[in-house]
Amino acid sequence: MPDNALLVKLTTIGTGTAAPHAMRVSAAHLVESGHGSGAVRLLLDCGSGAVHRMAALGVDWPSITHVAITHFHADHIADLPVLLMGWRWGQLPARSAPVTIYGPPGTGALIERMAGVYGAWMLAPGFPCTVREFVPDECVRLGEHVTLTAQPVPHTAESVAYSVNDGERRLVYTGDTGVSEALGAWSAGCDLLLAECSLPEPMAVCEHLTPRQAGQLAAQASAHRLVLTHFYPPVEAVDILGDVAECYTGPTVLATDGWSIEF
């Protein structure tokens, strides 16, 4: 392991959905690895409420180095303008460090459309801000030791899952997804699978996972640990862990806003 390596830390900032919830804001998750100038602090999705939730949790949002969005639904991107605005006008001194925003094809056009609503400052926020769109089979290096790769998933036309790997440990984040054998194979052997768990079995739809389907995905991937997120209120009324355990017997966590783990 590199001398400056840190246990990978995951903090689930927002574990909710588009449904307003008293305890859960929309999707956002922070992955941290490394120390000092070589540290990577990657925000996966930036849904509505995420920025103020980070402040409430005491998360060091000014030092985020990278953002990666999975798809273009509001509960995954709505706070991106708020984050950029916070970096420019919400802190003293204003941000000067560079940031890179990753996403599937169409991300650049999305930010241009946002700038048409919120102002052209989004395209030149006062600090170096680069937008990178993933191409098939691309592996992007974040800092010295961490890599980021993407995998298409069945949700919207652009939707992707992400894999974060520091050479020792691997985290896979499904974003929003339906059942996908390809995702299970791509996630094989991951140390932590951060998976959506949207709806109970009677409300199952092809664009999201039920607890049992999340368990099937974790079992197919032989994931070492399963962390569930993206809960619509109806799924919270069922025995999520019991349904997962029908397919997956590894450690399983029902994430809450502010839950974290080092691994």
How many C-beta neighbours within 10 Å does residue 167 have? 13
User: What length does the chain have?
Assistant: 263
Contact between 222 and 249 under an 8 Å Cβ cutoff? The reply is no
What is the full per-residue pLDDT of the chain (263 aa) written as tens digits? 444 445 799 999 999 999 999 999 999 999 999 877 789 999 999 999 999 999 999 999 999 999 999 999 999 999 999 999 999 999 999 999 999 999 999 999 999 999 999 999 999 999 999 999 999 889 999 988 899 999 999 999 999 999 999 999 999 999 999 999 999 999 999 999 999 999 999 999 999 999 999 999 999 999 999 999 999 999 999 999 999 999 999 999 999 999 999 98
Domains of the chain and any CATH numbers: 9-262 (3.60.15.10)
